[in-house]
Structure 1
Amino acid sequence: MAYVGKTYKFQKHENFSEFLTHVGVPADKADFLLSAKPSQKLEKDGDNYTLTTIDASTKELKFKDGVEFEETITPEIKAKTTFTVSGDVVTQVQKFEDGRSITLKRVYSGDQLVVEITVTGWDNVARRYYSAA
């Protein structure tokens, strides 16, 4: 788990615009998300993890491996979220009230992080690429 404690800076994305369209993100918010260049860092303290995303603001998600919790995506959108940590792969599954789910699979290798994003009802994969800072 050499990636724990490292900061990864955003480099590029694939199919992210299509993903945002599929999940219904309004155009103004999609434009912001497409232009953002966030950094991510995963930290571990005992059985507890903290995933920090830094862009215009800082968002921290605190979790335990395999334990579901309520995640606030926006003030009006919440999800039941579970993280699973397995070697160099950290998988986040967000389940929404409408039955849809989004899976964010973070694959760490060397100094790279690739986040693969899939969603119910969309036959594609969006990818976001990061490199260690």
Structure 2
Amino acid sequence: MNSILLENRIKIIKIHYENGGSVKVTFRKIPDIFGQHNRTSETAIKNLVAKFESTGSVQNAPTPTRVRPGRSTENIAAVSHSVEEDPTLSIPRRSQQLGIDICQRGRGGHLSDIIFHS
């Protein structure tokens, strides 16, 4: 659905409801918008109509921004201070002392990224 322009999505919805809500009829009537060989699929039309009926909109939902707790200013400051105090301390031992997971990839951070890229 991302590749269909917003104005074309609106036209598809209008055509759909003007023709009794039939996906097949809508599919047959949209070559005027996209051209004969570039039109969207029946599945895409069905999904667009379902989205319109459930949300009342044909726009894309905004993507949520994810929080990166591993790269917080407090963690960066704590790791920087720890590295200054004892640069020979291993990453697993440092993470244990600071209470930061070594690998927080699923939650947005990585201790070695904080140490080497701060």
Give the TM bin, normalised by the shorter chain. under 0.3
Which structure shows the higher helix fraction? 2
Taking structure 2 as the reference length, what is the TM-score of the superposition? Answer: 0.23
Specify the structure having the higher radius of gyration (Cα): 2
TM-score by length of structure 1 reads 0.21
